[in-house]
Amino acid sequence: MLILLPPSEGKTGAVRGRPVDLATLGFAGLTAARETVLDALTALSDDPARAAEVLGLGPTQAGEVARNGALRRASARPAAEVYTGVLYEALDVATLPAPARRSLGRSVVVFSGLWGAVRLGDRIPAYRCPVGASLPGLGGLGAFWRRRMSAEMDAAAGRGLVIDLRSGAYAAMWAPSGLPAPAGKPPGKPVAEPVAKPVGRVTGTGAGRVATLRVLQERRVAGVPKRTVVSHFNKATKGRIVRDLALAGARPATVPALVSALRDLKYTIEENGRPGQLDVVVTEL
């Protein structure tokens, strides 16, 4: 089983320790590509104004550019400690018992504009490199990684279940077998959703090996149930789901088995009519 996560924009750097050693990171087949992106990113930092423009940084974020320029000598720490956004706060790896941490170390893959993909235990420095950026000499990072990730990720996925919790831009870096590449719909925009039908027996392509989860908040408006896609709290819910699966020792091998495991954990899971795509319905955020 693989659980695919996006990185977080917020990151915490190490105060001391050895710098990153690309040869020790997971997915060794990506090492050469990581060297290329790292070289381009650190070189871009020589021109702070240009770097801020390329990376979408404001006047108060000049420190991010300087940090990128020092990535090869910066102290590194496990990715689980570097990523500190909403999803990772809810996941809270540090407070999990050892068996759960080991399970997540084997199953979780974090996608990254700089590293391509890393495991939670891979030691990396804090950085700023969104996959939506277009680095001089490389072009768009999404397309750069999409051309280089298939062999590594296909091998890692094998025949197991893939639970895809990535956001749009990171989901476009690699599409697991059985899951079409995303169409590029901007994430996070609230839209009204019809009430979905409960999952009974999952059939068709959705009964296979790839599952994506969407979080919907249900509220009653004039007595009528209305559902809305949530953004910020979507991340927190996904972090809690990964944590709960690890605590339960659940390792589902198919989409129906995942549905059963999540229902056992008291989540409301419904299908939305698209193969392999499941809705997590919440009433409180």
pLDDT in tens, 26-47: 999 999 999 999 999 999 999 9
194 band by pLDDT with thresholds 50, 70 and 90: very low
Domain ranges of the chain: 2-165, 192-282
pLDDT in tens, 151-166: 999 999 999 999 999 9
The pLDDT of residue 179 is 52
Give the predicted TM-score (pTM) of the model. 0.87
Q: How far apart are CA 124 and CA 74, in angstroms?
A: 9
Q: How far apart are CA 256 and CA 159, in angstroms?
A: 15
pLDDT in tens, 226-240: 878 877 678 999 999
